[in-house]
């Protein structure tokens, strides 16, 4: 999953439809930032970290079954995507840890 999505939302601060960055930590919503005024809405970090740990447990426990399903359902695309997924995993985890530290860089 991508960690930052760009979507147009109505900004509650500067009013009107503007591009927003929607930042995730894993599968969890972490923050939104308005590109027009910079208004940021973010989960408080202790809550985000607690939720992240809880969700990570689910992700780890269900990973084998999800991989098996993907391998059976779409063997070719699974085989094609697997090397890339393995290679990019450390970078994804690093991004998630940065978000959990409250960093947006």
Contacting residues toward other proteins, per CB under 8 A: 1, 5-12, 17, 19-20, 22, 24, 27-29, 32, 34, 41, 43, 47, 50-51, 54-55, 57-59, 62, 66, 69, 73
The nearer residue to other proteins, 27 or 89, going by C-beta atoms, is 27
Q: How far is the CB of 104 from other proteins (least distance, A)?
A: 15
d(CA 72, CA 29): 30
d(CA 95, CA 9): 24
Q: How far is the CB of 92 from other proteins (least distance, A)?
A: 14
Q: How far from 39 is each of 3, 66, 101, CA to CA, in Å?
A: 19, 37, 19
Q: How far is the CB of 25 from other proteins (least distance, A)?
A: 12
């Amino acid at each position: 999953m991508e960690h930052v999505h760009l979507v147009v939302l109505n900004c509650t601060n500067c009013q009107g439809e503007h591009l927003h960055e929607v930042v995730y930590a894993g599968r969890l919503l972490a923050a939104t930032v308005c590109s027009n005024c910079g208004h940021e809405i973010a989960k408080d970090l202790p809550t985000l970290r607690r939720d992240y740990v809880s969700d990570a447990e689910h992700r780890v426990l269900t990973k084998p079954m999800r991989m098996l399903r993907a391998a059976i359902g779409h063997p070719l695309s699974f085989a094609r995507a697997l090397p890339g997924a393995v290679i990019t995993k450390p970078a994804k985890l690093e991004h998630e840890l940065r978000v959990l530290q409250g960093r947006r860089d």
